[in-house]
């Protein structure tokens, strides 16, 4: 299902240098306001992987209701702190970048600003071995937030930490090796990242949230016996309003909802506006009702399938046997009959910031005109994997 508002920016001409990425600022800001409303007063930590554009990260952090960055790379976190984007960056994925870790350990400002996720003593031993000790580096315990029903496990295969005793054991080992335990992470991928496509999915979400609420209370209590926690982070765009008034939660996370990509069509409780688009020109007409555009094969990560492909707008559709191509993409539909070589075709990416690894810049549009052009991570010469 395509949500209302999933129409391309009203730009009179294709922005120069197509293919080009465009963010509709009115939609972006409306999505930010809606995330704050749904967060219910809890601060939102912005997921940088979902934006991958420093100017838009900073635009978001300047708004009331947002505080701190959830990064995906330790090198990225160092860069965001040193550029002044944020002085509170949580790297929510364990790192094996020992050179970056040594940089953090040797710089008091970076040690204060950056926290690393950890879920195993093996990771702690790798880090301590590189540093000689924990060197006061801040860590947060990443806890499995999936659903378990007997032998069945539903959710992302992230952390092995499931019980209060296991979480406390990781935290105690961290303290013993000289790290500073400051937080906990519970990311419910099977709730936050899955559209409400069926009654079965809705049932899984309800069971997940109920089971997680019971476990989270005990796990946080066990961690607080080891160290005073500064933050307990939960959720994502698809679930940040699903945690009620649970007093152990201090913040939520979101990022994709700012861009409103195609995978976020079909949720029951919210409808983000489509803010991120890319446009690419028609380069040939191989048949009636069929045109081919340049490039366009910006597939999203995850389990391979049609839902990971970009979606053409204006009633156009991809060909089932070709999909979106590396250097050309055919699309068909009634509107294709009226398109000429050189005309733009607009697409929505399936996921959020990932597509910006293919663009050096983002054109910011407002009221039908481009008001600014800002670099992506790639445009600033940064590639964090």
pTM, entire model: 0.94
Assigned token pair, 365: 């549009």
> In terms of Cα–Cα distance, which of 70, 165, 84 is closest to 117?
70
Beta pairing partners, 375: 361
Assigned token pair, 203: 């049932």
Q: What is the distance between the alpha carbons of residues 242 and 263, in angstroms, rounded to a whole number? A: 19
Residue 368 pLDDT: 85
Q: What is the distance between the alpha carbons of residues 297 and 328, in angstroms, rounded to a whole number? A: 7
CA torsion through residues 91, 93, 94, 98, sign: negative
Burial 255-290 (b: 16+ CB within 10 A, else e): bbbbbbbbbbbbbeebbbbbbbbbbbbbeebeeeeb
Q: Can you list the domains of the chain with their CATH numbers?
A: 92-254 (3.20.20.10)
Q: What is the pLDDT along the chain (385 residues), one digit of tens a residue?
A: 445 457 887 776 565 667 999 999 999 999 999 999 999 999 999 999 999 999 999 999 999 999 999 999 999 999 999 999 999 999 999 999 999 999 999 999 999 999 999 999 999 999 999 999 888 999 999 999 988 988 888 888 889 999 999 999 999 999 999 999 999 999 999 988 888 889 999 999 999 899 999 999 999 999 999 999 999 999 999 999 999 889 999 999 999 999 999 999 989 989 999 999 999 999 999 998 999 999 999 999 988 999 999 999 988 999 999 999 999 999 999 999 999 999 999 999 999 999 999 999 999 999 888 999 999 999 999 999 8
Say if CB 188 and CB 145 are below 8 A apart: yes
């Amino acid at each position: 299902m395509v949500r209302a508002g999933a129409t391309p920016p009203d730009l009179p001409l294709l922005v120069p240098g197509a293919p080009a990425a465009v963010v509709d600022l009115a939609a972006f800001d409306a999505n930010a306001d809606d995330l704050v409303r749904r967060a219910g007063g809890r601060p939102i930590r912005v997921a940088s992987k979902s934006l991958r554009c420093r100017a838009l990260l900073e635009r978001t952090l300047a708004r009331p209701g947002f505080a701190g960055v959830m990064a995906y790379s330790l090198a990225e976190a160092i860069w965001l702190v040193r550029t002044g984007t944020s002085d509170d960056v949580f790297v929510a994925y364990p790192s094996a970048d020992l050179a970056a870790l040594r940089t953090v350990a040797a710089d008091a400002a970076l040690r204060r600003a950056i926290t690393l996720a950890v879920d195993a003593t093996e990771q702690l031993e790798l880090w301590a071995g590189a540093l000689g000790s924990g060197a006061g580096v801040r860590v947060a315990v990443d806890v499995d937030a999936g659903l378990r029903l007997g032998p069945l496990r539903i959710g992302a295969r992230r952390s092995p930490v499931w019980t209060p005793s296991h979480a406390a054991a990781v935290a105690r080992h961290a303290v013993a090796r000289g790290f500073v335990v400051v937080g906990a992470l519970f990311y419910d991928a099977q709730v936050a990242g899955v559209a409400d496509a069926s009654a079965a999915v809705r049932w899984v979400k309800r069971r997940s949230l109920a089971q997680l609420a019971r476990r989270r209370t005990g796990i946080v209590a066990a961690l607080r016996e080891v160290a005073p926690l500064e933050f307990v982070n939960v959720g994502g765009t698809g679930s940040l309003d699903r945690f009620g008034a649970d007093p152990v939660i201090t913040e939520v996370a979101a990022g994709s909802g700012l861009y409103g990509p195609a995978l976020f069509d079909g949720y029951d409780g919210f409808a983000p506006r489509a803010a991120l688009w890319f446009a690419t020109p028609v380069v040939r007409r191989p048949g009636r009702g069929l045109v081919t555009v340049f490039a366009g094969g910006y597939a999203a990560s995850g389990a391979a399938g049609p839902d990971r492909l970009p979606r053409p707008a204006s009633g156009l559709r991809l060909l089932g046997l070709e999909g979106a191509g590396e250097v050309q993409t055919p699309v068909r539909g009634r509107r294709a009959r009226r398109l000429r070589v050189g005309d733009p075709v607009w697409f929505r990416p399936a996921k959020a910031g990932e597509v910006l690894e293919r663009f050096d810049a983002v054109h910011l549009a407002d009221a039908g005109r481009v008001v600014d052009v800002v670099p992506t991570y790639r445009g600033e010469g940064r590639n964090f994997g």
